[in-house]
Amino acid sequence: MTVADVLTLSGFVSYTDARFKGALSTVPFANTPKWTYRADATFHLPVDPELGELSVGAAIYGRSRFTVSPNGNTEPASFIAPYHVIDLRAGWDHVLRSNFDVALFAKNVANKAYVTGAGLTSNSTLGLTTLIFGEPRTYGVELRAHF
């Protein structure tokens, strides 16, 4: 058995250098983080194939700071702070050689409070700022049937 048989690694890194040209070159490009990333690692447990396939995994996802308003630094809530969240998953695929899978998962295991975006900003005619928060820690069970 090799490392490739028991360990799967995947992920991505994205860099975006979004900006306006000409007279608008000093205006921040809203809702576009420079960096976005995700890394996943899944360990496939070596078990008898008659039992099915067992795996445990972890993932981290994050984004860099970005502005939500073209007015840039003039608004107190114009920047969304960088964040990252960690998810965990344990799965049992083809349970006892059946067509069923079951998994336990936990998302945002650190229960990090983070902001993913903004709605109305302080330059709106209503004078309000609204923020969109990411999901809190979540636990669950997945059941899947293969047809």
Give the pLDDT confidence of 89-132 residue by residue, as tens digits: 999 999 999 999 999 999 999 999 999 987 655 555 666 667 88
Predicted TM-score (pTM) of the model is 0.83
Q: What is the average per-residue pLDDT within 9-14?
A: 97
In whole angstroms, how far apart are CA 1 and each of 74, 95, 97, 134?
59, 22, 21, 40
Q: What is the average per-residue pLDDT within 25-46?
A: 91
Please tell me whether residue 95 adopts helix, strand or coil conformation.
Answer: helix
What is the model's pLDDT at position 1? 62
Phi then psi for residue 72, to 5 deg, are 55, -130
With beta carbons less than 8 A apart as the criterion, state whether 46 and 65 touch. Answer: no
Q: Percent of the chain at pLDDT above 90?
A: 64
Q: So where are the chain's domains? A: 3-145
Q: Percent of the chain at pLDDT above 70?
A: 86
